[in-house]
Amino acid sequence: MARRITGRLIALTVVAGALVGCAETEFLIHATKQLDRDEPPAAARHDPGDPVPKGYKVGSAYEIAGVWYYPFHDPQYDEAGIASWYGKQFHGLSTANGETFDMNTLTAAHKTLPLPSIARVSNLENGRSLIVRVNDRGPFVNGRVIDLSRRAAQLLGFQRKGTAKVRVEFVEFAPLNAFATADSAYGTARARRVQAAEAPTVDRVESGGISVEAVEKPAQADIAVVDSPDDGGGLISAQAAEIEPIASAGPPIFIQVGAFANEANAARLRGQLQRFGPSQISKIVIDGRTLHRVRIGPLASVQGADETLTLLIHEGFTGSRIYIAR
């Protein structure tokens, strides 16, 4: 296990439990069933996913603080959840795939994505979107879907706040011979070039009509081009991004406790959850199969969701996870 993961385990001893951050479909199929016993345990049903090219690391299942995680390559990976960030405490330490963590570059840690990967992270609270190089494992904290470098958190506008509701999408495998910089998740050696009539060479990611562009050779230090209806376009500094207020609270937060083929089992679980707050059952069809999802919420804040999630896990509902409605 990389030195940074060991260091983070020491730093996180005050946090109770952890969750596997999986895509929505994977979670529904492999979630721990509290009442439904018509399928084998998640670990027995897990498969390695799609093959990956030579030189990339998916890795075997691993255990952190009593919780098992199952790395898995899903080209369609697309999940909404809570992002956090990490910085000075781990700056200069080795990542899970042997790179050196630099808090000033556009990188991230994820529990299950192949290493290294390129992921698109969109802040659902302010509309900003950014590409990052996933080169580490984590975050091993309840209810977190991705851990971003300080630089990435700055540009997405939540460094000061600490967490944000985000959407994480797998884009492609990252170049093996190019490393992230402060301006590019690909590294300057293989930065994507987008030609625009009145713009420099940039990395561009668009999501819902919003784009964040990282200038490869900026005219002034530590800047990013932000093209957003909320920001009005133009240049902003990373310092400004750090203190920028969040435009809105974003989509509501729920905690998904289980998913069942049998609706009666879903109803029974919902009955057990009344003491944790308002709950609901929603249906979803995956590969022709109807599943009944049991969720608590909506919850008013990330802090409230964290507290409820910790309580659920303590009470034995270990398959619970934070879910962001989109």
Tokens of 187: 């590294």
CA atoms within 13 A on the CB side of 59: 22
> Which residues neighbour 253 within 8 Å (Cβ) at sequence distance 6 or greater?
82, 165, 297, 298, 299, 301, 302, 304, 305, 322, 323, 324, 325
Query: Rounded to the nearest 5°, which phi and psi values hold at 324?
Result: -105, 120
pLDDT of residue 62: 87
pTM of the predicted model, to two decimals?
0.67
Are 261 and 36 contacting, i.e. CB atoms less than 8 angstroms apart? yes
Short-list 252, 255, 326, 325, CA closest to 294:
255
Q: Within 13 Å of residue 61, how many CA atoms lie on the same side as its CB?
A: 14
CA–CA distance, 292 with 253 (Å, rounded to integer): 18
Contact 108, 147 (CB under 8 A): yes
pLDDT of residue 233: 29
List, in order of start, the domains of the chain with CATH numbers: 1-247 (2.40.40.10), 253-324 (3.30.70.1070)
Residue 154's closest CA among 58, 240, 69, 59? 240
**CA–CA dist 157, 159 (Å, integer):** 6
Q: Which two tokens stand for residue 127?
A: 């509309």
C-alpha–C-alpha distance, residues 236 and 229, integer Å: 14
Contact call for residues 297 and 253 (beta carbons, < 8 A): yes
For residue 247, the model assigns a pLDDT of: 39
Of the candidates 190, 141, 140, 148, the one whose C-alpha atom is nearest the C-alpha of residue 168 is 148
pLDDT along the chain (326 residues), means of 10: 45 34 36 32 50 90 83 93 94 94 96 95 94 94 92 95 95 91 76 33 33 31 30 32 46 93 94 93 90 93 92 90 85
**Starting from the edge strand earliest in sequence, which strands make up the sheet with 321-324, in order?**
279-286, 289-299, 253-260, 321-324
> What's the token pair of residue 25?
């479909």
